[in-house]
Amino acid sequence: MSSFLHLFSPAPHIELIKDKDKVDAKYKYWRVRILYSMFVGYMLYYFTRKSFTFAIPGMMHDLHLDKAQVGLLGSILYITYGISKFASGILSDRSNPRYFMAAGLIITGVCNIFFGMSSSLVMFAIFWGLNGWFQGFGWPPCARLLTHWYSQSERGSWWSTWNVSHNVGAFLIPWIVGAAITFFDWRLAMYIPGVLCIAGGIYLINRLRDTPQSLGLPPVEEYRDDYVGSNLKKGEVELELSTKEILVDYVLKNKFIWMLGIAYFFVYIVRTGVNDWTMLFLIETKGYSRMAANGCVSLFEVGGFFGSLCAGWFSDYFFNAKRGPVNVIFSVGMLIALVGFWMVPSGFLYLDSLSMFVIGFVIFGPQMLIGVAAAELSHKKAAATSTGCIGFMAYIGAASAGYPLGIITDHFGWEGFFFVMISCCALSVVMLLPMWSVTENLRKVPTTLSKASKETVAS
């Protein structure tokens, strides 16, 4: 048991490589390898998270489920995922992301397979709740890697490039599920992502590594001579923080984390509401076939792909790594785009598709950058915990877009649905506006001279 738990311990730092050319070559290689490995891994996490969304019509037809029951399953996943995201964030800051992320992906694959074998609401709830818990093992290791391998002035670009992985996954899954349902049934649509994710977890074990120092490389701030948002100076290393220091001093006592978390709550109601309910809206109110509605909704993820990239790159290159202005601009756009989609009359498939693209574009700006801001406004040693904390708040919002929004839609129709969504857009803007110019948390991690610097001073 102890050897099993040892796998999740942070990889130890080894002696630093002295050859600058070798350091440069290894950094370039590992930064690319870490990025594409995280990309593939997180894309597959989405396969086992969103498979249920597009299997809903088949499940409702075969098992006679109503909207409230379907919404309940969605809420269970979001609640367990949100709690896990916070808990696993605390663990991940002091764990090896190589094994942490891989283990979660493998177990979510198993949960998907067992979900597909079930037929009762109770068993669905159990396996979907477990799936949500192990889904929480995906994001925090990525936050740890993104803050240790990429410095602040470039992080928006790298983070946004990784972030579109779930847009790719969510774009592909309706076609995979749609084909499975068309030629077989909704159960196969759960099995296929499950098998893919088990294989993906094995892939992550092979490709990922922990921090640069575990490979004999200097901290990324030293490598890039980029100390923006860090109190490190040349020749210094940051002292390790206890779990209590990370959680209390750098997260729970950090007002910026709370403001970002509340904004995230409202953004995720909108994001999840659009993602989970608009296909049913298009089928019920506009008479689209399942495949036509699936194709329309898939453009939400295409828009999100470009929106994430633009938000990250804009924040780095047009706003000097400030995340606040881009978060506000995209959130205002989110409100406008949602109103526009609601006003599209029936029979205009191309307008509906274009609206879904635009909604995805503007929603995934703050969906991505709020996470970046949370990591940067705490500290890289608390990145997984801080993003896990706001992730918990986000998925309480996502859970609110499940059963509660299903009840509202049942009682007040789609007008009630859109009223709630537009109100949440407005509230997210209100929470993000005060953070327009905030760039860093003034509380710094204590430092000491590195071993090499101490030897130089002694001589």
| pLDDT the model gives residue 305 | 87
Label residue 321 left, alpha or beta by phi (over 0 means left) and psi (-120 to 50 means alpha): left
DSSP 254: -
Task: Give the pLDDT confidence score for residue 45 in this predicted structure.
Answer: 93
| pLDDT above 80 (res 6) | no
pLDDT for res 88: 87
pLDDT at 442: 53
Least confident of 139-153, 243-257, 303-317, 426-440: 243-257
Confidence of residue 5 (pLDDT cuts 50, 70, 90): low
Quickly state the pLDDT bin for 457 (edges 50, 70, 90): very low
| Start-to-end CA span in the chain (Å) | 46
Q: Give the pair of three-digit tokens for residue 362.
A: 């503007």
Measured between alpha carbons, how far is 121 from 101 in angstroms, rounded to an integer? 29
Q: For residues 430 and 425, give the distance between their C-alpha atoms in angstroms, rounded to a whole number.
A: 9
pLDDT at 115: 92
Threshold 0.85, pTM exceeds = no
Q: What's the pLDDT score for residue 458?
A: 47
Cα 228–Cα 230–Cα 236 angle in degrees, nearest 5: 120
Please report the domains of the chain, with CATH numbers, ordered by start residue.
Answer: 32-213+242-441 (1.20.1250.20)
Rounded CA separation 409/67 (Å): 9
Q: Over the stretch 140-152, which tens digit does the pLDDT of each residue have?
A: 899 899 989 998 8
Q: Which range has the worst mean pLDDT, 116-125, 410-419, 441-450?
A: 441-450
Residue 139 has pLDDT above 70, yes or no: yes
In three-state secondary structure terms, 128 is helix
Indicate the average pLDDT of the chain.
84
The CA-based dihedral angle spanning residues 165, 171, 175, 176, taken in that order and rounded to the nearest 10 degrees: 20
DSSP structural state of residue 9: S
Spell out a b/e string for 311-335, using b for 16 or more CB atoms within 10 Å of the CB, else e.
bbebbbeebebbbbbbbbbbbbbbb
What six digits make up the tokens of 187?
């159960």
Q: DSSP string covering 38-82, please?
A: HHHHHHHHHHHHHHHHHHHHHHHHHH---HHHHHHHHHHHHHHHH
Residue 91 has pLDDT above 80, yes or no: yes
Residue 447 has pLDDT above 50, yes or no: no
Using a pLDDT cut of 70, give the percent of the chain over it.
Answer: 90
Tokens standing for residue 278 = 């608009």
Whose tokens are 């710094």? That residue is: 444
- Token pair belonging to 408: 């509202």
Q: What is the per-residue pLDDT for 325? A: 93
Per-residue CA distances from 257 to 58, 253, 371, 416 (Å):
40, 8, 10, 31
Which pLDDT band, with edges at 50, 70 and 90, does 108 fall under? very high
In terms of C-beta density within 10 A (0-12 exposed, 13-18 middle, 19 or more buried), how is residue 239 classed?
exposed
Question: Nearest-CA neighbor of 401 among 57, 54, 73?
Answer: 73
Cβ atoms of residues 95 and 37 within 8 Å = no
Locate 224 and state its tokens: 């890039």
Collapsing DSSP states into helix, strand and coil, what is residue 19?
Answer: coil
Given a contact cutoff of 8 angstroms between Cβ atoms, the answer to whether 283 and 414 are in contact is no
Write out the H or E segment, with its range, that includes residue 238.
Answer: strand 236-238
The three-class DSSP label of residue 314 is: helix
- 343-400, pLDDT tens digit by residue? 888 778 889 899 999 999 999 999 889 988 888 888 777 777 888 888 889 888 887 8
**pLDDT band for position 433 (cuts 50, 70, 90):** very high
Looking at the chain, the whole-number percentage of residues with pLDDT higher than 90 is: 37
The torsion region of residue 354 among left (phi > 0), alpha (psi -120 to 50) and beta comes to alpha
Count Cα neighbours of 392 within 13 Å in the Cβ-side half-sphere: 17
CA dist 239 and 190 (Å) reads 45
pLDDT in tens, 233-292: 555 555 556 667 777 777 888 888 999 999 999 999 999 899 888 888 888 888 787 778
- Name the amino acid, one letter, at 230: S
Per-residue pLDDT, 86: 83
